Amino acid sequence: MPDRSWWRNGVIYQVYPRSFADANGDGIGDLDGLRGKLPYLADLGIDAIWISPMYPSPMADFGYDVSDYRGVDPLFGDIERMDAVIADAHALGLKIILDFVPNHSSDEHPWFRESRRSRDSAFRDWYLWRDPAPDGGPPNNWLSNFGGSAWTFDEGTGQYYLHLFLDKQPDLNWRHPALREAMFESMRFWLRRGVDGFRVDVLYHVMKDAEFRDNPLNPAYRDGIDSEANRFLPTHIADLSETMDVVAAMRAVVDEFPDRVLIGELYLPLERIVAYYGDRLQGANLPFNFLLIGAAWDARTIGSLVERYEAALPPGGWPNWVLGNHDKPRIASRVGDAQARVAAMLLLTLRGTPTLYYGDEIGMRDVAIPRAEVRDPFEINEPDKGLGRDPQRTPMRWTPAPGAGFTDGTPWLRLGDDVASRNVETEAADPSSIWSLYRSLLWMRRASRALSIGSVRILGVSDQALAYERVDGDERIVVCLNFTEVPAVLPIDEPAGRAVLSTYGDIRQGPLRPSEGRIYLS
């Protein structure tokens, strides 16, 4: 793969549009708000913006229930505003990646409305319909990821339809050629408008067992603790071999247009993640690697993870790393404020394409949402298990003013009680802030071939600290990270050359301070 591929050299920044910037004062972020913040993102030093769904939707799952794959929900704006975002982003040297949601649509999508009209509908087999079991119940034991059966009975036609998420999100039938082509045309619709690629939602779920066999029991399931969906192993509803054909076909569509990217959402073990690069790398350009999200936060675990991932990559496969997203607790909440700085240095100095989640650059934490204010259907369906995603979806803080510069109205989710200290305006004025660290790292990465495309090698690891090098030609950079809250001896001899950046702001030689990351140019 040539070095000129922007998605190899660049950094992706995820925007959850409801929570990024509200231009019309209704308390919900919109495309005009995002458009106004494009110069901020360009100055921060990112290269591409991944926009979570902004398509027309009843918002049962806040946009992941799509009722039109070729439009924009009025809540966010319209197609002309989306065109303006794309044009302005390109003028600033930024790329635009859209979320594509192929596993399911909204039950209000015209396709599904027609599908449920009659068993004889031409659209019937665009979705997954089955007769009841002999006892009249669901066809099998498949469960929804949001709790309860994955099957809902339709009185009008006397069959059940499948939904691996909400009952308002019926699953599409990717075995049907006409459905496939309609979805591919939806991708082309956006690619023709200048979109630079797609992040594909739950890519590993798109194909289901053709025989609709029961899933086996999960022996590790903990009743009352785990999500009900984990009661069974997803043997027949996830990561089927036929999925690779769909991925290859999506990639072929993307490759009809120059310099585009296909990214797949995959919550899978390492050996299965790398399989999604496909034969001869004709699968996803970047099968999302979420391993840092669930890994134990210590030097030996992270060092081993880097080595195992690099060793598992197919020849020519380009790595990627993610610390968080709209579905998982924020990194600062998981590891604390000091270690969030170490995490930033790790993410932006490893080999591969990093993806940032909006607000991580100011150290945003999860915000506790009182039960009466919960919006996430996951939490509503399975309360008190800590599964809700509202805490990590709260609005971006731009200023310390009321509304945090996000809105002049009432924000759709509460902002939290630390807005005065955690906001862009305040932190941009502080050279010791995590925002200043992120910006320094982003621009250092952009200026350094070793950091953007160079090789990686673990140099040393201890119970406290990890050291690795990035090398391209005669440029060599060494990164040392202390994963503990006490001083740590470097796990290698002090690198030759000079230290150029520390998570503390000021630069010292010798042992690492508590939760310090340090970069050497040697």
Q: Which DSSP string do the residues of 161-228 spell out, in sequence order?
A: EE-SS-TTSPBB-TT-HHHHHHHHHHHHHHHHTT--EEEETTGGGS---TT-PPPPB-TT--TTTS-G
Give me the sign of the Cα torsion angle 434, 348, 54, 36: positive
Q: Checking DSSP bridges between strand 465-472 and strand 455-461, what pairing results, if any?
A: antiparallel
What are residue 177's DSSP bridge partners?
Answer: none
Let me know whether 325 and 365 are in one domain: yes
Q: What pLDDT was estimated at residue 1? A: 42
Residue type, 332: A
Start-to-end CA span in the chain (Å):
28
Look at residue 1 and tell me if it is in a domain.
no
Of 373, 405, 438, the residue at which a domain comes to its end is: 438
Of 405, 438, 471, the residue at which a domain comes to its end is: 438
Give the contacts of 209 (CB within 8 A, at least 6 positions apart): 235, 236, 237, 240
Please state, in angstroms and as integers, the Cα–Cα distance from residue 505 to each residue in 130, 468, 497, following that order: 61, 20, 18
Residue of 411, 412, 380, 328 lying closest to 146 (CA atoms): 380
Phi, psi of 232 (to 5 degrees): -120, 150
Cα(276)–Cα(123) distance, integer angstroms: 30
Let me know whether 221 and 328 are in one domain: yes
Let me know whether 382 and 493 are in one domain: no
Please state, in angstroms and as integers, the Cα–Cα distance from residue 307 to each residue in 302, 342, 519, following that order: 9, 19, 20
Are the beta carbons of 255 and 247 closer than 8 angstroms? Answer: no
Please state, in angstroms and as integers, the Cα–Cα distance from residue 271 to each residue in 245, 308, 309, 310, 313, following that order: 18, 10, 9, 11, 9
Look at residue 445 and tell me if it is in a domain.
no
Look at residue 276 and tell me if it is in a domain.
yes
Please report where in the chains the tokens 């999508």 appear, as a residue: 109
Look at residue 172 and tell me if it is in a domain.
no
| Active site residues per annotation | 201, 256
Let me know whether 348 and 461 are in one domain: no
Of 438, 463, 498, the residue at which a domain comes to its end is: 438
Let me know whether 58 and 190 are in one domain: yes
Q: What's 123's domain CATH number?
A: 3.90.400.10
Total residues found in the chain within this entry: 522
pLDDT tens-place values along the chain, 522 residues long: 445 689 999 999 999 999 999 999 999 999 999 999 999 999 999 999 999 999 999 999 999 999 999 999 999 999 999 999 999 999 999 999 999 999 999 999 999 999 999 999 999 999 999 999 999 999 999 999 999 999 999 999 999 999 999 999 999 999 999 999 999 999 999 999 999 999 999 999 999 999 999 999 999 999 999 999 999 999 999 999 999 999 999 999 999 999 999 999 999 999 999 999 999 999 999 999 999 999 999 999 999 999 999 999 999 999 999 999 999 999 999 999 999 999 999 999 999 999 999 999 999 999 999 999 999 999 999 998 999 999 999 999 999 999 999 999 999 999 999 999 999 999 999 999 999 999 999 999 999 999 999 999 999 999 999 999 999 999 999 999 999 999 999 999 999 989 999 999 999 999 999 999 999 998
Q: What pLDDT was estimated at residue 522? A: 87
Let me know whether 209 and 77 are in one domain: yes
Look at residue 447 and tell me if it is in a domain.
no
Cα(437)–Cα(363) distance, integer angstroms: 11
Look at residue 169 and tell me if it is in a domain.
no
Look at residue 207 and tell me if it is in a domain.
yes
Q: What pLDDT was estimated at residue 43? A: 98
Residue of 382, 390, 374, 325 lying closest to 146 (CA atoms): 382
Tell the burial category of 472 from Cβ atoms under 10 Å away from its Cβ (0-12, 13-18, 19+): middle
Burial 275-307 (b: 16+ CB within 10 A, else e): bbbbeeeebbbbbbbbbbbeeebebeebbebbe
Let me know whether 425 and 506 are in one domain: no
Q: How many domains does the chain fold into?
A: 3
What are residue 48's DSSP bridge partners?
Answer: 12, 95
Let me know whether 70 and 200 are in one domain: yes
Please state, in angstroms and as integers, the Cα–Cα distance from residue 476 to each residue in 8, 495, 498, 521, following that order: 19, 10, 11, 6
Look at residue 68 and tell me if it is in a domain.
yes
pTM above 0.75, yes or no: yes
Q: What pLDDT was estimated at residue 37? A: 98
Let me know whether 188 and 326 are in one domain: yes
Q: Which two tokens stand for residue 436?
A: 């200043």
Rg of the chain taking only CA atoms, in angstroms: 23
Cα(25)–Cα(405) distance, integer angstroms: 11
Residue type, 217: L
Let me know whether 136 and 282 are in one domain: no
Let me know whether 119 and 235 are in one domain: no
Residue of 136, 137, 129 lying closest to 159 (CA atoms): 129
- Angle of CA points 16, 379, 34, to nearest 5°: 10
Let me know whether 427 and 465 are in one domain: no
**Cα 65–chain centre separation:** 17
Q: What pLDDT was estimated at residue 135? A: 97
The residue range of the domain holding 223 is: 6-105+177-438
Q: What's 88's domain CATH number?
A: 3.20.20.80
Query: Is residue 280 classed as helix, strand or coil in its secondary structure?
Result: helix
Q: What pLDDT was estimated at residue 2? A: 44
Tell the burial category of 439 from Cβ atoms under 10 Å away from its Cβ (0-12, 13-18, 19+): middle
- Helices and strands (DSSP H and E) totals, the chain: 15, 16
Burial 332-348 (b: 16+ CB within 10 A, else e): bbbbbebbbbbbbbbbb
Q: Which two tokens stand for residue 73?
A: 């929900």
Q: What's 511's domain CATH number?
A: 2.60.40.1180
